[in-house]
Structure formats: C-alpha cells, structure tokens
Amino acid sequence: MSYKVLLLNGSPKARGCTARALQEVAQTLQAEGVETEIIQIGSEAVRGCMACNWCGKHDRCVIDDKVNQVAKKLAEADGLVIGSPVYYGSPNGTLLSFLDRLFYSAPFSMHMKVGASVVSCRRGGNTASFDVLNKYFTISGMPIASSTYWNQVHGFSAEDVEKDLEGLQTMRNLARNMAFLIRAIDKARAAEGLPQVEHDSFTSFPDGK
C-alpha cells in the first residue's frame, strides 16, 4: 500500500526556516515509505473567504486559484502537514486565508486523514501559532500526529535552524509518528471501517433560547 502526505509551506521564503523544518519531515517520511509533496503557499496572492457559499453548490471555491488545486491533491492524500512562520504571535496571514478557504470549500471529508502543524520562529509566539493551526484538524475529524516536543524550530535563517538540533529531531520524530499513524488507520479501516460520524444536530439558537 502506498501513502502520500502533502506539506504546505506557509512562508514566503521557499528556502527559509519553515522550509528547512518541512524538509526534515519530508525526508523522514520518505524514509518511512511515504510519498511527499511540498507546496509553496506563503508567496501566493491568496484572498480570504468571501462567505458566498458558492462552494456548497459547486464543490470548489469560487476563487479558482491554488486552493482548488491543492484540494484535488488533498482528496487523494493520507496526511497533511501545515508549516508556518510566526508573525506577531500568529501564523502567516496568507496561509490562514488559504486554509480558511481550503477547509471550508473542500467537497470531501477529511475524516481520519492525519494532520500535523509545524511552526518556526526567532524567539516567541510559537505555541500560540501551533494552537491556531491545529484547530483546522480538530474541527475536521483529523487525528493529529505529535512528537517529542511541540513541533517548532528556532532561528532567523535556515542556517540557524541547522543548529537547532532538538528542533530537527522533533521534526524527524513527528514524521515517524505520522507514518505509523497513517498505516495504523489504514489497517483499522480495512478491518472494521472508520468511526461513524453524526451530522444531524446543528445548534445555533436561532430563537435566542
């Protein structure tokens, strides 16, 4: 059985700190027999969701850009790694706009696809950004792969990240755990199917009660 993981680089820099962290994850996944593809997002001109709900009737976003392209790839993937630098204690705004539209407009279920987020920072804001990215997974029924520390690297350049030995170690352990989880879910799916998902209840209190 072949498996594939998409890795999104939310940094404008294709060879910066975030890219170096994602590279370490990708290389280790490949060593585990998992195919990988790193997709550059942070340098794209991505606008935010317009809340038009056009996607609900047409199974794709009304803005026909890289969001729709990645959605097609993600439909066939077994896992997703989201990488971002920290800007003012939060992930890259371009990446967040991309993820809002991707997760809202995708016409397929992401249930049991394995997710992981990776953040890079010079000093602070890493855990706050990590939390923001993980919420895309937890609202979508996606198990989150963890590591031996929060998935972060430190540095102002890719060369700095090379010196963050624990950070790179964390990336490798993350990748191994992710590969294991993907294989385990696939075996469970074949043996007993996936967990039931209920969608009947939608609480919005329209009457103010």
Q: What is the mean pLDDT of each run of 10 residues along the chain (209 residues)?
A: 96 97 98 98 95 96 96 98 97 98 97 98 96 98 98 96 97 98 97 93 74
Residue 1's pLDDT is 79
For residue 174, give the CATH number of its domain: 3.40.50.360
Task: Flag whether 135 is in a domain.
Answer: yes
157 assigned to some structural domain = yes
**Domain membership flag for residue 208:** no
Task: Render pLDDT for 97-122 as a digit per residue (tens, 0 to 9).
Answer: 999 999 999 999 999 999 999 999 99
Across-strand partners of 36?
Answer: 5
The 3-class secondary structure across 13-58, one letter per residue, is CCCCHHHHHHHHHHHHHHHCCEEEEEEECCCCCCCCCCCCCCHHHH
- Does residue 26 fall inside a structural domain? yes
| pLDDT at position 209 | 53
Q: Is residue 83 part of a domain?
A: yes
Measure the CA angle with vertex 18, ends 153 and 36; round to 5°.
110
Side-chain-side CA neighbours of 171 within 13 Å: the count stands at: 29
How far apart are alpha carbons 91 and 41 in whole angstroms? 12
Question: Does residue 198 lie within any of the structural domains?
Answer: no
The whole-number pLDDT of residue 205 equals 78
Domain contains 203? no
Close Cβ partners of 93 (under 8 Å, ≥ 6 residues apart):
87
Q: Which domain holds residue 46?
A: 3-192
Structure tokens at 85: 């630098």
Q: How many domains does the chain have?
A: 1
On whether residue 16 sits in a domain, the answer given is: yes
